[in-house]
Amino acid sequence: MDGYITEIGIGRNVFVATSLLDMYTKCGMEKARCVFDGMPEKYTVSWGNMIQEYASNGLPKEAIDLFFQMQKENLKRDCNAMVGVLSACASLGALELGDWLAI
């Protein structure tokens, strides 16, 4: 599917790319990360989706790393990002970090 989307050029549309990203997070994080990294523009919902899916798929360190990358880019955190990063902190037993991030 993404090959066809890329071939006809609509993969550069942020809405199409975000939908594709959502589909791939349901199938595994490796391909989802490739789609995410290839997105020309990422909305907060794209970041939050990836963070939450990393946490849900047993990859808490990746969720936290992506959250910090999002913060470095001065993007506003949304509910998905916060739920994902706090879940990741809980999975790692990093309760102080989770408490600090929630402020």
The string of pLDDT tens digits covering residues 9-58 is: 545 667 777 788 888 888 889 988 988 888 878 889 899 999 999 999 99
Token pair of 49 as six digits: 């989706």
What is the phi-psi region of residue 57: left when phi exceeds 0, alpha when psi lies from -120 to 50, beta otherwise?
Answer: alpha
50-72, pLDDT tens digit by residue? 999 999 999 999 999 999 999 99
Contact predicate 80/48, CB 8 Å: yes
User: What confidence score (pLDDT) does residue 12 get?
Assistant: 61
pTM reported for the whole predicted model? 0.82
Q: Which tokens hold the place of 83?
A: 């739920």
Residue 22 has what pLDDT?
84
Residue 2 contacts residue 38 (beta carbons within 8 Å): no
